[in-house]
């Protein structure tokens, strides 16, 4: 089946899965979402066979696929159906944009060391992205509890303490992966300036400090609530700028290939 057809099927399945998660038929939702992620993965494997094509929209699609797969794993451990309602439509949009609207180049062959660095980076970004979505949902849940209007999205979430615990578990895992990303970058990336990577490194280190401080504060002082939400979202914004901000400027504004 052509990649364009697979993309349409995957996007449709993502949207159906999101609707099913709204109405909470757990098994059908999981089955449809799994099929969507598998189809998305097949497209990514076909596009990246023999190398890596990480232009702006391809990187977004790759991260979206990783986040969607992670969303399924999270729901296996802790049912948070609202995650799927948010993540799956976004994954469908990014997949379609990359497939139908974005320019594609031949994948560049890369050494295993750089490939390992990219894997750490994508996994870390994906895990922390899910944690950031949970932080937003946690803020909505807290606001609803304070206003005594627990309905809609807030009512569909697990108890607040479970949502918060899951968020910190993901932040811990993401922090480890981000640490491995930075270490592998230091070891394997030859010239940060020539490859337009110095700003990404600085912003990634800043995000690493924010997440590290949050985890330390949680362990030492019991930080939670609004402080945890603010720091999680601040760290995620820094990572977004590191991963996609410079790439957006270089590729879409300046029309240069990083």
Query: Could you say which DSSP state residue 194 is in?
Result: T
Collapsing DSSP to helix, strand or coil, 108 comes out as strand
Residue corresponding to tokens 């509890």: 145
Query: Could you say which DSSP state residue 258 is in?
Result: -
Q: What are phi and psi of 143, to 5 degrees?
A: -60, -40
Query: How high is the pLDDT of residue 31?
Result: 92
- The answer to whether residues 258 and 195 touch, using CB atoms and an 8 Å cutoff, is yes
What tokens were used for 192?
């940060």
**Rounded-to-5 percentages of helix, strand, coil across the chain:** 80, 0, 20
d(CA 192, CA 182): 12
- The answer to whether residues 65 and 73 touch, using CB atoms and an 8 Å cutoff, is no
Mean pLDDT of each 10-residue bin along the chain, 258 residues long: 89 93 80 95 74 71 92 82 87 92 66 80 93 92 76 67 90 96 80 62 93 97 93 96 71 52
d(CA 33, CA 71): 10
What tokens were used for 78?
């802790």
Query: Could you say which DSSP state residue 103 is in?
Result: -
What tokens were used for 117?
């660095």
d(CA 159, CA 217): 22
What tokens were used for 77?
């451990």
Collapsing DSSP to helix, strand or coil, 253 comes out as helix
d(CA 63, CA 214): 24
CB-based contacts of 207, cutoff 8 Å, min separation 6: 178, 235, 236, 238, 239, 242
Query: How high is the pLDDT of residue 193?
Result: 47
d(CA 192, CA 135): 32
- CB-count burial class (<10 Å; 0-12, 13-18, 19+) for 62: buried
Query: How high is the pLDDT of residue 192?
Result: 52
Query: How high is the pLDDT of residue 247?
Result: 64
């Amino acid at each position: 089946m052509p990649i364009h057809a697979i993309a349409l099927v995957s996007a449709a399945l993502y949207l159906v899965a999101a609707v099913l998660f709204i109405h909470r038929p757990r098994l059908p939702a999981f089955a449809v979402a799994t099929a969507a992620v598998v189809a998305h993965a097949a497209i990514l494997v076909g596009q990246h066979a023999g190398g890596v094509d990480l232009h702006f929209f391809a990187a977004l699609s790759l991260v979206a696929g990783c986040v969607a797969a992670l969303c399924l794993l999270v729901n296996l451990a802790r049912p948070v159906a609202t995650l799927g309602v948010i993540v799956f439509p976004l994954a469908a949009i990014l997949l379609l944009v990359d497939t139908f609207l974005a320019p594609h180049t031949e994948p560049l062959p890369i050494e295993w060391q750089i490939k390992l660095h990219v894997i750490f980076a994508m996994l870390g970004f994906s895990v922390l992205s899910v944690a950031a979505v949970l932080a937003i949902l946690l803020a909505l849940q807290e606001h609803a509890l304070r206003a005594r209007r627990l309905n809609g999205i807030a009512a569909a979430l697990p108890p607040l303490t479970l949502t918060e615990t899951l968020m910190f578990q993901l932040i811990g895992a993401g922090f480890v992966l981000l640490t491995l990303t930075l270490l592998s970058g230091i070891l394997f990336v030859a010239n940060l300036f020539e490859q337009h990577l110095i700003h990404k490194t600085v912003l990634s280190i800043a995000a690493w400090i924010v997440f590290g401080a949050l985890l330390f504060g949680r362990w030492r002082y019991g930080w939670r609530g609004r402080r945890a939400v603010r720091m999680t979202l601040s760290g995620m914004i820094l990572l977004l700028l590191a991963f996609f901000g410079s790439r957006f400027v270089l590729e879409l504004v300046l029309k240069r290939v990083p």
